[in-house]
Amino acid sequence: MSEKALLRRRLLDARAALAPDALARTAEALGGRGLELPELAGAATVAAYVSVGREPGTRALLDALHARGVRVLLPVLLPDNDLDWAAYEGRGALAKAGRGLLEPTGPRLGPEAVCAADAVLLPGLAVDARGMRLGRGGGSYDRVLARLARAGKDPALVVLLYADEVVARVPEEPHDHPVHAVVTPDGVARFGRS
């Protein structure tokens, strides 16, 4: 197993051991902390995702951003693992999709729609002190980050994690991009941006 695969397995096992009440408390804390982050609270458009399973909860944050009038874009997984996007219109406008995901039911805006985002909330399993993010390994968000770079866009890149998922070092590859901030229930850490 690669170093990344071993770290992913360890982190996923730790998430699997979390109690339901801890998940709920963490989701609430992350929603509040996320709104304290100027890059999210002050954005006109945020590209995000709907947390599923044991992922750090995003739903409270999505609802709060939407209620504030922020345009929230959510991903729609394409057959080739790339991402299309659609606007978030509330929890009632989400549908079950493949791989256990929840996706917006509204009109598809195309893969380039993410380029309009002022901030991108990325899923992850870990981040290190350099801001290097460890994802799930599917490559969908690597494509998103490459698309943003090709378009010359530099939105704030933010990851929501459990506190113990901020680690000493994440193995990196040439295609990996650092994030600008990580939000945990304990607070915010920033990397390379003021």
CATH number at residue 60: 3.40.50.10420
pLDDT in tens, 36-53: 999 998 999 999 999 999
Average pLDDT, integer, range 153-175: 93
Total domains in the fold of the chain: 1
DSSP E strand boundaries for 98-150: 102-104, 119-122, 126-128, 133-134
Tokens of 100: 């256990």
CA 93 – CA 62 distance, rounded (Å)? 13
pLDDT the model gives residue 138: 83
Q: Is the pTM of this model over 0.85?
A: yes
Give strand pairing partners of 83. 77
Residue bearing tokens 């304990």: 186
pLDDT the model gives residue 86: 98
Residue bearing tokens 């693992």: 81
Residues 162, 26 contacting (CB under 8 angstroms): yes
Tokens of 25: 């408390």
pLDDT in tens, 129-163: 999 999 988 889 999 999 999 999 999 999 999 99
DSSP E strand boundaries for the chain: 45-47, 71-77, 83-87, 94-96, 102-104, 119-122, 126-128, 133-134, 156-160, 166-167, 181-184, 187-190
Which amino acid, 110? Answer: G
pLDDT the model gives residue 147: 96
pLDDT the model gives residue 193: 58
Fill in the DSSP letter of residue 178.
B
pLDDT in tens, 78-135: 999 999 999 999 989 999 998 888 999 999 999 999 999 999 999 999 999 999 999 9
Domain residues for the domain of 178 are 3-190
